[in-house]
Amino acid sequence: MPAARVLADYFDRIVVIESDTLPGGASPRPGVPQSQHLHVLLAGGQRALSSLFPGLEQTLAAAGAQVLQVSTASEWQYPGYESFPKRDLGFPAFCMTRPLLESVVRNHCAAIAHMTTRQRCRAQRLTASEDGERVTGVACLHSDGSVENIQADLIVDASGNGQLTLNLLAALAIPAPRETVVSVGMGYSTTMFEIPANPPAEWRMVATLADPPANRRSAVLAPVEGRRWMVTLAGRHDSKPPEDEAAFMEFARQLRTRTIYNAIREAKRCAPILRYGFKASRWRHFETMERFPSGLIPIGDTICRFNPIYGQGMSVAAKEAHLLRGLLQSALEKGTNLSSLPCAFLAQTPSIIDAPWTTSVIPDFLDPLTAGERPPDLEGSLIFGAALRRLAYEDGDIHRLMLEVQHLIAPRSILREPAIVARVMAVSARAKEPSGCQR
């Protein structure tokens, strides 16, 4: 939908192909099986969406989304820390269900007269010109069994699994892009609880992070619309959370801290417990391809699918839509055609993906059972990250920079500025000193 909103400013007709029957309000749907689990809209993604949909934040708040200041209202329990300092870092976060966010964004799109949605319509394959240089349309199957070939000047593949694009490349004898795959063996279970009449006063949201391999369990409790807590328990490999209530509560009790367990053990559960699994993070490096057809833009999960426990996917997709808008505007101002647009877009997506990919994949490798391509100097990065967290604990300015990078507001390079690196290395050296040494 963010991509469709961008295209609406530059094209006469926008068609969104949707296999589901779309609900009238904020309800889950079959095409998004993970929609009833916790979703996070990072501040960078929130800002990108707000620039595309003016008034979005006000509409979300009016619909019941909960607005939290980062990190005064949040309890972050990193490994080695029962609680991180609560400081006003200058930006809010919105907590809501995925269906609510979808509904609000969809209503914004519905107000665009030249945008239509074909419901109960499944995109089967992409069609290309005879020379294979340009994608020309989409062959679609309707629910009544009829087939329609929709011709288009530009197609955005936001199908998630990317199979439409991969099948087209295979049909055109174009080698598939190189992939980086990191197997994480993640599973998670989610349910809702009514917020008690007297909830804890010291926090509104809690995140308890795992400390593998000793404890592979993590969890997030967040307020959502309807005065409810959404609680997602997550675990890796042999520590995946269950779906029956007694085992769910026991899993919560075995988290590194009992903050979440103590909050929900007397609360009333008001939704079923749902499970979901995620095998591997996957980055398709389209930017390295020597040949890519014009007329086609892969976006979102089609390019990179992140470990969902870090809540980065929606925000990255929103920022990619923002990138697409900038490239279209530049093409319009320069009077250039669209033939070079896909390669220009794919060449710049790594600048958006690199930071969230690195900040999730590096801690994933703390678990020795994680398999896949290890980042360069993994050991050094892990040491740097631990020392950075210690420095952030001590220094509010570093804490703010660390979270701005995590929320995709600031580039990751800001944490590698010489003055900051020197301070981080000093903290690391201090941690290595024998306990009897004083400095």
pTM over 0.85: yes
Domain ranges across the chain: 1-374, 376-432
pLDDT of residue 437: 34
- 126 contacts 296 by C-beta, under 8 angstroms: yes
Class assignment of domain 1-374? alpha beta
Q: Which of 103, 117, 120, 126 is nearest to 53 (CA)?
A: 103
* Dihedral sign (CA 23, 29, 34, 38): positive
pLDDT of residue 434: 46
pLDDT of residue 336: 87
Q: Which of 84, 108, 48, 183 is nearest to 392 (CA)?
A: 84
Q: Within 139-199, where are the H helices?
A: 163-171
Strand 115-118 and strand 135-142: the pairing is unpaired
pLDDT in tens, the chain (439 residues): 999 999 999 999 999 999 999 998 999 999 998 899 999 899 999 999 999 999 999 999 999 999 998 889 999 999 988 889 999 988 899 999 999 999 999 999 999 999 999 999 999 999 999 999 999 999 999 999 999 999 999 999 998 889 999 999 999 999 999 999 999 999 999 999 999 999 999 999 999 999 999 999 999 999 999 999 999 999 999 999 998 999 999 999 999 999 999 999 999 999 999 999 999 999 999 999 999 999 999 999 999 999 999 999 999 999 999 999 999 999 999 988 889 999 999 999 999 999 999 999 999 999 999 999 998 889 999 999 999 999 999 999 999 999 999 999 999 999 999 999 999 999 999 876 544 333 2
pLDDT of residue 433: 54
Q: How far apart are CA 143 and CA 126, in angstroms?
A: 19
Strand 14-17 and strand 115-118: the pairing is parallel
Q: Which of 69, 144, 66, 123 is nearest to 100 (CA)?
A: 66
3-state secondary structure of 47: helix
- 315 contacts 48 by C-beta, under 8 angstroms: yes
3-state secondary structure of 4: helix
Q: How far apart are CA 344 and CA 372, in angstroms?
A: 29
pLDDT of residue 438: 34
19 CB-near residues (< 8 Å, 6+ apart): 31, 120, 121, 122, 123
Q: How far apart are CA 52 and CA 119, in angstroms?
A: 23
Q: Which of 225, 281, 258 is nearest to 99 (CA)?
A: 225
Q: Which of 95, 100, 104 is nearest to 70 (CA)?
A: 95
